[in-house]
Chains A and B, each alone.
Chain A
Amino acid sequence: MKRISCKEEVCIGCHLCEIACVTEHSRSKDVVKAYKEESPRPTPRNMVEEEGALSFSVACRHCDEPSCVEACIAGAMVKDYETGVVKHQPEKCVGCWSCVMACPRGAVKIDPSKTRVIKCDLCPDREVPACVAACPNRALICEEK
């Protein structure tokens, strides 16, 4: 199971992980088009938290016994027990925020549309998730755990 974590000692809060996430989940997969032309612009599925010199990036850990899956009333959040990925199916999401209530890492975000949630999907089309590949300091690491 791939898991992303962040070394806060070397994270400089550049937000490139968020930009890479937006680009990867855009229709064009082109950073300029994703930001300038696509509407609505994809929302980053991760989030950089910062305060002074401290910063780190937070994303879903795809837990073994995911609280978000337990809580989902719509069958939108499911754990694939073969790949380990906790998958969110936006078309099934009703925006009840049960997963927001349940995720102990605070890693499920409310989409700006306020009708559904959004979270890390581990970049199904990529070997290494886009955020990890984009991190200039290797603060973000992806490990098999």
Chain B
Amino acid sequence: MQYVIVGNGVAAIGAIEGIRRRDRENPITVISAEPYLAYGRPLIANFLRGALSKDLLLLREESFYEKNNVKLLLGRKAVRLDEDKRELSLENGDSVPFDKLLVATGGKPFVPPIVGLGDNYHTFTTLKDARGLEEMSRTVKVALVIGGGLIGLKAAESLHDRGLRIHVVELADRILSASFDEVAGRIIYNRLNQVGIGLHLKNTVEEVISGREWIIGARLKSGEMVECQGVVVAIGVVPDLELLKDSGITCNRGVVVDDFLETNIEGVYSAGDVAETKDMLLGEKRVTPIWPNAYSQGLLAGQNMAGAQKSYEGSIAMNSIAFYGIPTISMGITNPPADGPYRIRSVVNEERSVYRKLVFQDEYLKGAVLVGKIERAGLLTGFIKKHIAVREYEDALMKDELTLTDFPKNVRQEILYSD
């Protein structure tokens, strides 16, 4: 039995741990285009800020692969999947046979066509990208970040900390529009504004203007000219499906998988940012590039590759991220349509950068946005995931200092002790 995993991100780590829960014997091969041991991808922001050395980026200790009998093919790109021969072709001409395969190639940055941009830009999703930006920051005084989502703002923060002046251009009327609502976006907007990061909302880059050798500025849709010498494109990521192009694996936006995370080809599974998986709250399958979900999907797919029959219960989108010392957490449904079945309760103190918003449907909690005070936020995750009726305890959930004393014993026992 040959297990093969394409990709070496957190879904791959989950899959190795999942396979090894059931099968200590058969070898695993990991093929990754990136030349590194698995690292904490979001940590590239800490790395770029200079707050983290390279060895601290590692997700598992160096001996992890050897201990788990994993053969690493790093810096090798799998370019073709032949499901009939059950083998992968690598860019260097080698082929790797498999019995069970996990496609965990993750996402890749989406870069729209922009006049004058060419290939004169950076992205910010890999350690290599972070190194490129580190290099750029030595010569560039002003950088323009296209995209005001999590990745763009983290790039902005890190580069700003390295002494650059930063402009962020965002198409929407607020930053962080994918994970946050207007109020939370405004609190972070104000904080970034305060530290001197320039934010241009409801705006796009019409043209990047270069001098003889390098970028000298950009013209925005508003007509404004922004002087800059470097551009970071952080509009979003899309599933990296390149390997599957000519294969028989069914893909929509991402790889289509069943409840066991298996694709239409038997023995071929997919997990993480490349896969379309069930969203627990929306009840539909979609690509949710969320860190914890990539790990748990990998863990489940790995167990199933090794013979288990575990069904994926679905994921909840969640993010925990801090901007200049303001911690934020968002989970589940954070910005429901006004005409939907949802009820919202919220408390805000914008001056103190504290915000708490809970989204309910019938008796149940469906989502939350927390800014500033995030202690024990996981209890909210628990109430959502365990589908516990909370109508009587809504006041308790709204307290900054969440405590289980406010709940009846049976609820408390379930939260604390049930599996």
CB pair B378–A58 under 8 Å, yes or no, is no
- B318 on the interface (CB 8 Å rule)? yes
Can you name the residue of chain A whose Cβ is closest to the Cβ of B328? A97
B251 to chain A, nearest CB (A): 25
A66-99 contact mask (Cβ, 8 Å, vs B): 1 or 0: 0101110111001101000000000110111111
- The CA of A56 and the CA of B291, in the complex, are separated in Å by 33
A109 to chain B, nearest CB (A): 8
CB pair A97–B20 under 8 Å, yes or no, is no
CB pair B60–A51 under 8 Å, yes or no, is no
- Chain B interface bracket (under 10, 10 to 19, 20 to 34, 35 or more): 35 or more
- B379 on the interface (CB 8 Å rule)? yes
A65 to chain B, nearest CB (A): 7
In the bound complex, residues from chain B placing their C-beta under 8 Å from that of A107 are 378
Which residues of B in the span 370-393 have a Cβ within 8 Å of any Cβ on A? 374-379, 381-382, 385-386
- The CA of A65 and the CA of B308, in the complex, are separated in Å by 15
- A61 on the interface (CB 8 Å rule)? yes
CB pair A74–B40 under 8 Å, yes or no, is yes
- B296 on the interface (CB 8 Å rule)? yes
- A30 on the interface (CB 8 Å rule)? no
- A50 on the interface (CB 8 Å rule)? yes
- B17 on the interface (CB 8 Å rule)? yes
- The CA of A105 and the CA of B383, in the complex, are separated in Å by 10
- The CA of A100 and the CA of B381, in the complex, are separated in Å by 10
CB pair B378–A64 under 8 Å, yes or no, is no
- The CA of A77 and the CA of B149, in the complex, are separated in Å by 26
CB pair B329–A73 under 8 Å, yes or no, is no
- The CA of A51 and the CA of B34, in the complex, are separated in Å by 53
CB pair B404–A73 under 8 Å, yes or no, is no
- The CA of A75 and the CA of B329, in the complex, are separated in Å by 20
A106 partner, pick from B40, B60, B299, B376, beta carbons under 8 A: B376
Can you name the residue of chain B whose Cβ is closest to the Cβ of A50? B405
Given contacts A100-B376, A104-B415, contact A75 B409 (CB under 8 A): no
- B321 on the interface (CB 8 Å rule)? yes
- The CA of A61 and the CA of B414, in the complex, are separated in Å by 13
Can you name the residue of chain B whose Cβ is closest to the Cβ of A96? B320
- The CA of A23 and the CA of B40, in the complex, are separated in Å by 33
- A19 on the interface (CB 8 Å rule)? no
- Name A residues whose Cβ lies closer than 8 Å to a Cβ of B: 5-6, 8, 49-51, 54-56, 58, 61, 63-65, 67, 69-71, 73-75, 78-79, 81, 91-92, 94-108, 110
List the 8 closest pairs (A to B, CB-CB), nearest first: A104-B382, A51-B405, A103-B378, A106-B376, A75-B59, A71-B292, A106-B379, A70-B292
Other contacts beyond A70-B292, A96-B320: 5, CB < 8 A: A51-B405, A55-B405, A63-B419, A100-B375, A103-B378
Q: List 8 A-B contacts (CB under 8 A).
A: A49-B405, A70-B295, A74-B59, A94-B46, A97-B327, A98-B292, A105-B382, A110-B375
